[in-house]
Structure 1
Amino acid sequence: MKTIGIIAVIILLSFGFSKNQTKVKITNKSEVSIKGKSNVNSFECKYNSDFIENDLQVSISRYSDKILLEGAKIAIKSTGFDCAHRMITKDFKTILKADDYPHIVINVKEISTAKENITTKLHVKIAGVEKEYLVPVMFNQNTNNVKGQLKLNIKDFKLKSPKKLLGMVVVNDNVDIHFNLFLQY
């Protein structure tokens, strides 16, 4: 979810302009998945790549080892995930409150290039609750590819994991969001 925004930010690192506006496209080769566990099994929900393509007009300001971004805001469909099993997918959409909040909004605010590490500052809004995260990412300048992983707790967004079979099957509140984004600019 957040990964799409992170990728847009990383691509912008390669420009090196002080103040600039550029068009960034996240292609449908990109992949986003959410991995989680229950006390019985693990699961993976993949985002449908048909919903991934986004064109963004991003303003970039460079200050020393930081890049500030405006317009790197992406809304992804809460219903765009497939967990490979119909009931798990349904439960996942219920957790996200997809009927009431059809989009997860990721706003990439800043990229830090201190030393050899690249870190992005993201604002993530799920089910009406917004949180800020610092996410380390890897950027391949040759392929315009951004990869990263964000660990979050669904309770931070006031979401509740479902309990099945009279509470015998319980989903862990911690999930990992993996993203592998391909950009064009």
Structure 2
Amino acid sequence: MKRLLFILPFLILVSFSKINTVINSKTVRITPQSELQINGTSNVKDFTCQYEIQNLNEPIRIHFEKEQDVIRFEKSVLILENTGFDCGGKGINKDFHGLLQSDIYPRITLTLKEIKLNPHKKNIADALIDIEIAGLTNSYQMKTEFYYKQDWLILGKLKLNIKNFDLEAPKKVFGLVVVSDEIEINFKLVVQES
């Protein structure tokens, strides 16, 4: 009888858990055909900081579970070294790293949390991601396009305000050149399953 009393709570707990949900794991690699850039504007000139994709040559392990049209991820992280961004010149690179406080926070971290597939629009999904910049993390919902042939092609754009990360846009030439607080992250990722 005592043994039954010990096993009964365990059986009740198991019966209410998601028995049909399975955590899957895959290793993926971002190929050199990929592109990732940050675009910004100022009252004088627009700028683009291109990420050197060859810095992402390490395989990335992703963990996920799929439940109908929702895929939830755990520990699925993309780390971007700030030094991997090239904004086109020594001066603007220095300003970019100053803005990101690269000496204290040398990387940007993107954590994929969830993807909601759109059953009414083929190849469209809403992704929930956490972005950590300069030690602060914010969550963003973004629309993505995805296609599969031999590899996955994932396209997306995300506008964000740098003030959400307690960053202040640099001002140049005694405040005559002012950089906008809004930036846009554009990506075209070609992802290969290992």
Q: TM-score range by the shorter chain?
A: 0.7 to 0.9
Is the partner of 1:101 in helix, strand or coil? coil
Is the partner of 2:92 in helix, strand or coil? helix
TM superposition shift of 1:71:
2.2
Match of 2:65 in 1: 61
Equivalent residues of 1:153, 1:174 under 8 A apart: yes
2:79 counterpart of 1:75: yes
Is the partner of 1:173 in helix, strand or coil? strand
- Separation (CA, whole Å) in 1 of partners of 2:64 and 2:163: 33
Larger RCO: 1 or 2 (CA < 8 Å, sep 6+): 1
Give the 4+ runs in structure 1 shifted more than 2 A: none
Equivalent residues of 1:27, 1:54 under 8 A apart: no
- Separation (CA, whole Å) in 2 of partners of 1:118 and 1:18: 21
- Separation (CA, whole Å) in 1 of partners of 2:56 and 2:85: 11
Larger radius of gyration: 2
- Separation (CA, whole Å) in 1 of partners of 2:62 and 2:184: 27
Cα distance per residue 1:34-91 (max 9 Å; x no partner): 1111001111110112212231221221111100111211111012111112111110
- Separation (CA, whole Å) in 2 of partners of 1:19 and 1:74: 19
TM-score for both structures, normalised by structure 1: 0.87
**One-letter amino acid matched to 1:175:** I
**One-letter amino acid matched to 1:149:** K
How many residues matched?
A: 169
**One-letter amino acid matched to 2:186:** H
**One-letter amino acid matched to 1:101:** Y
- Separation (CA, whole Å) in 2 of partners of 1:170 and 1:24: 40
- The partner residue of 1:105 within 94, 106, 109 is 109
**One-letter amino acid matched to 2:47:** F
Report % sequence identity. 36
Q: CA RMSD in A?
A: 1.3
- Separation (CA, whole Å) in 2 of partners of 1:171 and 1:151: 15
**One-letter amino acid matched to 1:102:** P
- The partner residue of 2:48 within 44, 50, 60 is 44
Match of 2:9 in 1: none
Unaligned runs of 5+ in 1: 1-16
TM-score for both structures, normalised by structure 2: 0.83
Unaligned runs of 5+ in 2: 1-20
**One-letter amino acid matched to 2:177:** V
- Separation (CA, whole Å) in 1 of partners of 2:117 and 2:187: 19
Match of 1:133 in 2: 140
